[in-house]
Amino acid sequence: MVDTQYLIEANEKLVTRWNKLHPYETPQALGVRRPEIDDIIPMVEKYNKSNMELDDFIKKASYLMAIISWVQPFLDGNKRTGIVSAIKFLIDNGYNLNIGKKDEPEIRSLLYDIQDQRTSLDHSVMEKIIFYIRKRIINHEP
C-alpha cells in the first residue's frame, strides 16, 4: 500500500542512493514539505471514478506519479519518488510497469510539464501520462 509514510521513506532512499552514486556532485537535500505531503493521497483518491478496475489502477498510478511531481512535497527527488510510488502501487495491485531506459526521457519530460503548471494540474498532460502508463502496463502472475 502506498501511503504518506511510504512516500517519505521512498524519497529518503532515492535521494540517499543518488548521493552515494554521485559523491563528487552537490548532494541532494533530504526533507519533506508540510502540508504538501499530507495532500498527496487525498488528491489521488479523488481520481478514482470509473467502474473498470484496470482503468482505476492506471489512473491512480498516473495521478500519484504526476501529483508528487506537481505538488513537490520533497526538497529533491520528486519525479523519481512519483515514478517509484506509481510502480509500487501497480505491483501491489497485480500489475507491472515496463519502463525501459529508452522510455525514461518521455515520462520525465511529461513530469516536468506537470511541474511547470503551478496553478492547476494540466489535464492535457495528465491524459498523456495516463496513455504512457496504459501502453506500458503488464499483468503479472503472483
Query: In whole numbers, what is the pLDDT of the chain averaged over residues?
Result: 89
The model's pLDDT over 50-101, given as tens digits with 9 standing for 90+, comes to 666 888 889 999 999 999 999 999 999 999 999 999 999 999 888 999 888 8
Structure confidence at residue 122 as a pLDDT band (50, 70, 90):
confident
What is the three-class DSSP state of 119? coil
Asked if residue 7 lies in contact with residue 37, where contact means CB atoms within 8 angstroms, the answer is yes
Contacts of 35 (CB under 8 A, 6+ apart): none
CA 13 to chain centre: 15
Domain spans in the chain, listed from the N-terminal domain onward: 4-139
Q: Which H helix or E strand runs over 102? A: none
CATH of region 4-139, choose from 3.30.1390.20, 1.20.120.1870, 3.10.129.10, 3.20.20.190: 1.20.120.1870
Instruction: Report the distance separating Cα 126 and Cα 114, nearest Å.
Output: 8
- The DSSP-derived string for 22-56 is -TTSPPPPP-B-TTHHHHHHHHHHTT---S-HHHH
